[in-house]
Amino acid sequence: MFTPTTAIGAWIGYQIIQGAGRGFGFQAPVVAVQNASSPKQIATANALVVFSQTLGGAICLSLGQVVFSDRLRAGIAHYAPEVSAAAVIVAGATGIRDVVPAASLPGVVLAYSKAFDKVMHLGTGISGGQLLFAFGMGWVNIKKKEEREVELVTEEKV
For residue range 85-144, what is the model confidence (pLDDT) as tens digits? 999 999 998 999 999 999 999 999 999 999 999 999 998 898 888 888 877 767 777 776
Residue 158 has pLDDT above 60, yes or no: no
pLDDT of residue 152: 59
Q: Which of 137, 119, 127, 140 is nearest to 64 (CA)?
A: 119
Domain ranges of the chain: 8-157
For residue range 59-77, what is the model confidence (pLDDT) as tens digits? 999 999 999 999 999 999 9
φ, ψ dihedrals at 67, nearest 5° = -60, -45
pTM of the model: 0.76
Mean pLDDT to the nearest integer, 32-40: 87
Spatial contact of 97 and 105, defined as CB atoms under 8 Å apart: yes
End-to-end CA distance of the chain: 49
